[in-house]
Amino acid sequence: MLRDSHCHHPAQEKTTLTKLILISNCGFWELDSFDLLIAHVKAICKNTSWEYAGALLRPHGPALGYMLRKGYPVQDVLDVTKKAGKELIKNGKISEETFKTICRELVPLDNYIEILNQGFEKARERAKLQK
């Protein structure tokens, strides 16, 4: 199908999907690590005539599970994720405040890198012992 001088997939007759939200986790600390993924999802939306309704992004995601297990004050990230779903249904989008809470810093960058490097070093040592 040609639309705006560009080829697109035609919409299915019985489809009810009109909005798409990206939900993604990343091990890298920086939020801009998602930029290419967001651009790709937006391109998919444009090609399929869906509305890009936003994203729930969790940078330095491995820290979240660890911090939850250890009792650090990060439950708000999960709680506000439920709020995001309600906002999407009610308002058709996720508020900036909700987005910022979901992807907020959990641990300073220097600490995160130190912890990851220690974990990678332990994994390398285990791998050497298995050879």
pLDDT category, 115, cuts 50, 70, 90?
confident
pLDDT of 7: 77
Q: Report the distance separating Cα 53 and Cα 51, nearest Å.
A: 6
pLDDT of 12: 65
Q: What is the mean pLDDT of residues 50-69?
A: 90
pLDDT digits (tens, 9 = 90+) for 7-58: 766 666 666 668 889 999 999 999 999 999 999 999 998 888 788 988 999 9
Report DSSP letters for 10-30, one per residue. PPPTT----EEEEEEE-SSS-
Q: Between these two residues, 11 and 6, which has the higher pLDDT value?
A: 6
Among 56, 58, 59, smallest CA distance to 93 is for 56
Three-state DSSP at 70 gives: coil
Q: Determine contact, residues 21/94, Cβ cutoff 8 Å.
A: yes
pLDDT of 6: 75
pLDDT of 39: 97
Backbone angles phi, psi at 9, to 5 degrees: -75, 140
Model pTM score: 0.79
For the chain, the average pLDDT equals 88
